[in-house]
Amino acid sequence: MQVLKKYRNPELIKPMLNEISELSQKLDEELKLMEVCGTHTMAISKYGLRSLLPKNIKLLSGPGCPVCVTSQQEIDEMIALSKMPEVIVTTFGDMIKVPGSNSSLEKEKSRGADIRIVYSPLAAVEIAKENPEKIVVFLAVGFETTIPVIAAALEEAIEEGIDNFKLFVAHKLIPPALEALLNDNEVKIDGLICPGHVSIMIGSKAYEEVVNRYDLPAIVAGFEPLDILDGVKGALKQKVEAQVEVEDKVKAKVENRYGRVVKDEGNQIAQDLIRRLYQVVDTAWRGIGIIPNSGLELRDEYAEYEIRNVIDLDVGDSNEPQGCSCGEILKGIKLPYDCQLFGDVCNPQHPVGPCMVSSEGSCAAYYKYDRR
Amino acid sequence: MEEILLSHGSGGKLTQNLIDEIFIKELDNEILRSKNDAAILDLEGERLAFTTDSFVINPIFFPGGNIGELAVCGTVNDLATSGAIPKYLSLSLIIEEGLPITELKQVIKSVSETAKKAGVKIVTGDTKVVAKGEADKLYINTTGVGSLSTKLNISADRAKPGDMILVNGNLGEHGIAVLSERKGLEFETIVKSDTAPLSGLVSDILEVTDQVKVLRDPTRGGLATTLNEIAEASQVGIKLQEDKLPISETVEAASQMLGLDPLYLANEGKLIVIVPEEEVEDVLEAMQKSEYGVKSAIIGQVTADEPGRVVLENNFGASRVLDMLTGEMLPRIC
């Protein structure tokens, strides 16, 4: 933790804020940066960073909260699954409170459904081993950070012949989502603060295509206050340089400012593991819709491990709750305060949308730390 | 149909809702309404503090303690935080069929040792055994009474702007110690539960001042939740200095790994003390000299702004709301 203390040291943070403030005076217009990752949103709120930045720099949260972008249909399917007596549902804790159309996993648990919170998918494999008469399903929600860990658990289950272990694959991929966002005319973003954890796996190079196509800076940043401010400074600097040299305009670039853990190429072993087990498919994001090549499914030879290939979960058509602005908030078009439900109708005790319950949800972050 | 969820028992907002909307609504009286950890009773001129607590911890043995030690400390501490000298305890057990007798003996031995340390006697009890699966190993209820000096007026609604807030040592250790033993989560840690009887510390404080406004033990829901309760009850603001909060590096590291916030983790040997500003140095000194107060620190101050709200100020000048715990803390996803 001594290492981390450095990144919270006021002796380092204050000069950084001064640099940002000086640079920001050179901006021609407001700078809107999107922090793609929900963990960044949480940290920004937790450390009160928004209040320390100059008024012409805005931080907007992005789609990087895996629970928040899980579609209503999938949530309803997970809930339906948990009601089946032959099934044990295992999940990371974040999914438990997410409201479905009529229920939640938390409510089903209180009614007797066998739902178990695990910290690691390997624990779910253990549960499958201990309960051979049951089907043990792990809710595989998450981005590139989480996918390899779950893939490794599945490989272990396959090797050990634990056939009653299944996945509910609802994984999503970050770069295609960024591409889709930047293609959306409603979305106005001048730069990206890219997710540190995801980047450990996919590498900082993974953002180059997006950066080149849309000519906007993308900074890979860590999660401590100094890391995040350093990311803001990086994007700000690029922006200021780009506006000065009009004739020979400087191209925007990817900067890896989380070099203590992120490599340009990412983690090859993890990437190989994902390719071995999964193939890329189109998938629906909550509030955004279907994004091409942004999801995964198990390859044909492993299809029997996808629970939806084993059990038919017909939940009909699911609709997202009325009035919930999760979609626009995920796209950085609205702030949580702008949602008419925020606070009174929708709060952590009575969440309407997943953004209010996930530990990385924007609404949860604003409600918890930044309530006005 | 609304049902009881685990979050209703977490000590946070949903627990408050149950208390307000069901218990106080149906059982209302002036003593219950004060919502202190112990009821203060007037019995023919004698002032008594009276409280009860049930213990359902899983696992029943954890680093630094067990359910027996906890059952004594919990009730003793609820008495001590009203300023009372704890005297007598009852002990009721609900035992699941199949519990090894050696484990029961070990628990009761801890009850005995802890009671001695806290200066209380166990004077009555009850035993029930239920079929396997109908309880989880062992549940304990203790009820306690203590005597209370008429000079004292300690209550969660007495904090006033300007008062100083102290705590007697490192936060979150009980929470991390228990989590480290929980099934499916086993991890190695050197953190031990802080379970301790606080009656000695309280009497050491009361020796240097009778002006103590609030004493509370931040158990379930942690420091953050208890301070919110105080801010609410006293209708004051509370401002904490983040860098003054005593949190060990191991608890900080384990919390980061698990996605938890130490300010919401349970403590079983911690005391929040609120005193007028002019008393704070004497109280701090008395606390630091006491067995369970060596690492005591001043962590913040009561303010007149934003009544009912707790604000945490960090060392680079930003501040944020420190809310009550809403629901059980859950592991994070990535």
Q: What is the CA radius of gyration of chain A?
A: 21
Q: Using the beta-carbon criterion (under 8 Å), do B7 and A47 form an inter-chain contact?
A: no
Domain co-membership, B197 together with B291: yes
Answer yes or no: is B271 within a domain: yes
Q: Is residue B140 a contact partner of residue B93, using CB atoms and an 8 Å limit?
A: yes
Out of A2, A47, A106, closest to residue B314 by CB? A47
Residue B319 CB-density burial (10 A; 0-12 exposed, 13-18 middle, 19+ buried) = middle
Positions in chain B short of pLDDT 70? 1, 183-187, 326-334
Domain co-membership, B287 together with B317: yes
Please name the residue of chain A whose CA is at the shortest distance from the CA of residue B17.
A349
Measured between beta carbons, the chain B residues lying within 8 angstroms of A69 are none
Please name the residue of chain B whose CA is at the shortest distance from the CA of residue A16.
B316
Measured between beta carbons, the chain A residues lying within 8 angstroms of B321 are 368-371
Answer yes or no: is B12 within a domain: no
Domain co-membership, B78 together with B111: yes
Domain co-membership, B140 together with B239: no
d(CA A206, CA A199): 8
Domain co-membership, B170 together with B301: yes
Residues contacting residue A322 through CB under 8 Å, at least 6 positions apart: none
Please name the residue of chain B whose CA is at the shortest distance from the CA of residue A45.
B320
Out of A4, A14, A92, closest to residue B331 by CB? A92
Q: Is residue B205 a contact partner of residue B168, using CB atoms and an 8 Å limit?
A: no
d(CA A213, CA B145): 73
Domain co-membership, B141 together with B247: no
Residue finishing a domain among B120, B147, B174: B147
Q: What is the pLDDT of residues A314-358, one digit of tens each?
A: 888 888 888 899 889 999 899 999 999 998 899 988 899 999 988
Measured between beta carbons, the chain A residues lying within 8 angstroms of B221 are none
- Interface check for B323 against chain A (CB to CB < 8 A): the answer is yes
Residue type (1 letter), A93: G
Domain co-membership, B206 together with B277: yes
The pLDDT of residue A247 is 64
Answer yes or no: is B334 within a domain: no
Please name the residue of chain B whose CA is at the shortest distance from the CA of residue A46.
B320
Residue finishing a domain among B92, B121, B147: B147
Domain co-membership, B231 together with B106: no
Best residue in A150, A359, A366 for a mutation probing chain B (most B CBs within 10 Å): A359
Best residue in B244, B316, B329 for a mutation probing chain A (most A CBs within 10 Å): B316
Please name the residue of chain A whose CA is at the shortest distance from the CA of residue B179.
A119
Residue finishing a domain among B92, B114, B147: B147
CATH number, domain containing residue B268: 3.90.650.10
Phi, psi of B304 (to 5 degrees): -95, -10
Give the DSSP letter string of B108-173: HHHHHHHHHHHT-EEEEEEEEEE-TTSS-SEEEEEEEEEE--TT----TT---TT-EEEE-S-SSH
Domain co-membership, B83 together with B200: no
Q: What is the pLDDT of residues B40-53, one digit of tens each?
A: 999 888 899 999 99
Q: What is the pLDDT of residues B260-297, one digit of tens each?
A: 889 999 999 999 999 999 999 999 999 999 999 999 99
Domain co-membership, B116 together with B217: no
* Reported ipTM exceeds the 0.85 cut: no
For chain B, give the number of residues: 334
The pLDDT of residue B38 is 92
Residue A248: pLDDT band by 50, 70, 90 thresholds?
A: low
Domain co-membership, B120 together with B181: no
Out of B7, B256, B330, closest to residue A94 by CB? B330
Answer yes or no: is B106 within a domain: yes
CA distances from A358 to A95, A331, A350, B20 (A): 7, 17, 13, 27
**How close A43 gets to chain B, by Cα (Å)?**
11
The structural domains of chain A, ordered by start, are: 2-66+175-256 (3.40.50.11750), 72-171+267-309 (3.40.50.11740), 326-364 (no CATH)
CATH number, domain containing residue B43: 3.30.1330.10
- Interface check for B133 against chain A (CB to CB < 8 A): the answer is no
Answer yes or no: is B64 within a domain: yes
Answer yes or no: is B8 within a domain: no
Domain co-membership, B205 together with B106: no
Average pLDDT over residues A133-146: 96
- Count of domains forming chain B: 2
Question: Where in the sequence is the domain holding B288, given as residue range(s)?
Answer: 164-321
**How close A66 gets to chain B, by Cα (Å)?**
8
Q: Which of B315, B321, B293 is nearest to B168 (CA)?
A: B293
Q: Using the beta-carbon criterion (under 8 Å), do B320 and A52 form an inter-chain contact?
A: no
- Interface check for A6 against chain B (CB to CB < 8 A): the answer is no
